[in-house]
Chains A and B, each alone.
Chain A
């Protein structure tokens, strides 16, 4: 039987939504389900209205859904704002805590805080009661919840673990005993031996960097990228990584470049605003040919914009940032799994071409939890392209910027051998010393730009999902993959013929390969989380492929399948 349930937890910042959401998601994952967990929150520490959404299915799911089956309302706003989203589902609330005068038939009252007090002696366990109550409503195997609570609270001691389990069980039993139609929805565990993980985009990026041999990370915290920074910081000691909080983003990227020049794989994490401060240092990486990985979690700008929301608004900025012309590479992960492998790949591309490489993600991707197949380290290689001491010593002379056909000069790091390594932000000669002559300028600029040709051959073609020839082709990049893929499935099931061309390596683009792919495309629409269709423009400039139609969204919220399909029908695209 096919399951597609959507659970929403709403409340104020500081009420512990995240704990309920994480515990519920993990519990459902352990029972063999695919879970997609997404967050909506405001830029504040307390108060306001925030929510978390957990979508559960036995099928692969990579996006959020609009209609809600179970709403856990921890505040009044949760009902006011989300009651219309319910499709005949249940609202779980504690009427002792929230004033509800109007009779809403779907409300199921559970005295969360009284139960918490009675069973565990403290209101602090209210959220755990609520978690248990949801699973009781679903007649889900309680043992999974007990196991997850044990893992979650282990560091706080056995007593806290037991009190949480007791509170959860009491909530579970309350639903079982008091909900009028026992088991609102019967959710049986399906396959508890599968190798699945539940991971956010931020964690996947951090993990990918660790797997790639990251040794130095400098950053100034900025939403929504901070999760990756913190993830690496927590694991840094185990993997001999130095994570340094920089005084500003200017220092952050200059530091990463310094560490990389000296031989350590280096990275910065930031968002568009922080990256604005890094623009000059980006050019420094370009002209000194120092590899560095720049992770940008996009949020709506300009300036402060909407700090906790999502957008794909920085693509053209990232492609064009900094004065002058130099090669760079932009990777835009589609899912958390993709983010893991692409991050590792970013380090190899950076080292091979001695260029800055971007991981361009967005708040939706990096704050959402994706169910993925377990990550395989065996698929990750570490290719450093650094000369050994013997290789350097066997050269008559070492020239950091030796002119080569590929534009790539053999890279030495300082101190390894007696030959000196000289890098310069001024235009320089092959050795690395300042050279202001026009002849040299042309030779050096050509050398750097030649690297783009090799780089273009390195770029993977876009993924094509659905039939080869379709009446309508969606074009997307980065985090829109999930909702677009699902839109293709739903439309095709309804008898239409649509497909998807999705890019996760977005710059530079191999023109011929892409032109060939597009020669089979009848009618297409570019779907982007921005206001002006930036990728469509980049595609036209880089490959000549012109996309005349767009579905754009720039309200700070991600695409949903419902939104895309509505647009397709409303605008009579098929």
Chain B
């Protein structure tokens, strides 16, 4: 029996006049890599925030490991679910290492200082994101891509079983994008974690994910395995443009006509 980490039952999500989802049913299980696709402004970020318990849905219930969000404290949620946001704010100076170390916050008591173990975990996350050399740099002086990697390293240092990432490949070059997606997939398969990421590139999604959630507008959503959902006709409807399907030795790819 697969282990359900996050389950939505009859969830309605609204933001302003936009209906993002109606009676959404979703079950994210350990070991699954989910990808969320949809047009600009359709509500992907709102959906992600709602699934992370940062927004309250208009109706329905969302359970984290079988317990509704309403009954959980933020610290408890943050030990199990980490979020990468689309844009980071750095109003105050902070070093890269200090920023990544903040990922350990949910695991510490409010009066407790970080231990050597926390520092080790943060250093490990820095190394995995290829940031070792930038350890002492001020985050305000980093490039967009470097900041994005710092944010991802912070998420890894949080050591949660569920990872939600809003456009993690933003600002990243192709090599770093692939490295990060491969790393996330390895986390899922080897450590029984689950990942949900928002992407705009269908081909990266096809390469990375095993499950897809599509937001089609007006609350209509489709979810299922990659094979079920990544269908040329459905993708053309999703983005409102004609696509050509190409068979390559790594799988199907889509390019605009």
Q: Do A and B assemble together?
A: no
Q: What residues make up the interface of B, taking CB atoms closer than 8 Å to A? A: none
**Which A positions have Cβ atoms within 8 angstroms of B?**
none
